Amino acid sequence: MLAGELQGNIGFLNEKVGEFWYDLNLIAEENPEANLQLLECELGKIAHHFVELENPTGKEHFLDFKNSNPTNFDIIPDKIVLPPFENVQVRIQYSPTNLDVIESGNIIFENP
């Protein structure tokens, strides 16, 4: 869930073959940014995208998010819980406030 480098090891034990240990150099890279397609709708209406968030760990995680434009964009649900080894769909909802203006925003999901 976090980018960085870590040292680790793993061992295997078999009655016939014996015991094997391996040192591991673990590297977790940052996820690339995802640019979503433009959302368009009439004033007073809403449009949305769904994004899927994955939890590859055996622990439950609670995610925070930063929204640079809360006037036009909402994240639903506002409390995001990722159960162990599961995916959760999050809705990014857009409601316009101006005509003929592209309204943009950045939404960053983070593990506190």
Identify whether the C-beta of residue 83 lies closer than 8 Å to the C-beta of residue 60.
yes
pLDDT tens readout for residues 21-69:
999 999 988 888 888 999 999 999 999 999 999 998 899 999 999 999 9
On whether the pTM is more than 0.95, the answer is no
CA distances from 90 to 14, 54, 72 (A): 44, 11, 16
The strand pair at 4-14 and 47-54 is best described as unpaired
Domain ranges within the chain, ordered by starting residue: 4-110
- Please give the CATH number for the structural domain made up of 4-110: 2.60.40
